Structure 1
Amino acid sequence: MTHRLPVRVYYEDTDMGGIVYYANYLKYIERSRSTLVGELGLDQKKMKDEDAIVFVVVRVEADYLRPARLDDELEIVTTHHAASPMRWVFDQDVMRGDELLFRAKVTAVCMTTEGKPVRLPAELRAKLT
């Protein structure tokens, strides 16, 4: 399954050299995952408030390949799958046209608000298989 999210680089995203600050790539890919979750029909606020379950990132592997710059039009391309009943894995690329700038592999799990690991919601597992 693939999801695409356009992102424009604003002044606030850059360092003094006009290059995207490294931590902002993590914000871009988080925004893409959050949008994806909503588009899959999952209400994270409801999950937290009613079921006391939240998604937690437990691992990020990231490669910074080329810099993005002020005013660039980027696209966050996310491919995802359930790696197990408890793990959701995302391969995320930040693209400028056909040019790959940043690549990450992100692993998320579900936990109770008290920190106990739980299975991914059944409706999500069904959509990912």
Structure 2
Amino acid sequence: MTHRFTCRVYYEDTDLAGIVYHANYLKFIERARTEWVRELGVDQGRLKAEEGLVFVVRRIDAEYLRPAKFDDVLAVETEVAVLGGSRLELDQRVLRESERLFAARVTLVAVGEDGRPRRLPATLRERLAT
């Protein structure tokens, strides 16, 4: 299943040339992941408080394909590519209408309070697999 999150490019997102500063694509895809998990019914604050579990970014492979510009309306698409025991790989794309501007494979790992990988709870795995 593909989750879609829409956002607008604000002036603060751009550089001197009027295009989106490269690091801001990471902010866009982070917001999209947060909204995706929220729409799945996962409360990350509760997950941390009750299970001692948080997600950390382990790796991002990113491709910058075309520039986004001030006032563009962007869509961020998120799909699960790999669902492991404690690891989750997502494919995320940033589009302007149908034009692909940015693509990333993001590897997340569930970790406990000690910072070590922890197996995803079964109920969470079920939600992520939908």
TM-score by length of 1: 0.95
Q: Offset at 1:71?
A: 0.3
2: CA distance, partners of 1:120 / 1:38? 16
Cα contact 1:109–1:120 (8 A) shared by 2: no
The 3-state SS of whatever aligns with 1:102 is strand
Q: Offset at 1:121?
A: 2.1
Q: Offset at 1:120?
A: 1.4
1: CA distance, partners of 2:55 / 2:85? 13
Q: Offset at 1:44?
A: 0.5
2: CA distance, partners of 1:120 / 1:82? 13
Q: List, as ranges, runs of 4+ consecutive aligned residues in structure 1 with deviation greater than 4 Å.
A: none
1: CA distance, partners of 2:83 / 2:106? 11
Which runs of 5 or more residues in structure 2 are unaligned? none
Q: Is 1:29 aligned with 2:4?
A: no
Alignment RMSD, CA only? 1.1
1: CA distance, partners of 2:86 / 2:50? 20
How many equivalent residue pairs?
129
The 3-state SS of whatever aligns with 1:48 is helix
For 1:61, the equivalent position in structure 2 comes to 61
Which runs of 5 or more residues in structure 1 are unaligned? none
Q: Offset at 1:112?
A: 0.6
TM-score by length of 2: 0.94
2: CA distance, partners of 1:68 / 1:115? 36
One-letter identity of the residue aligned with 1:114: D
Q: Offset at 1:82?
A: 4.3
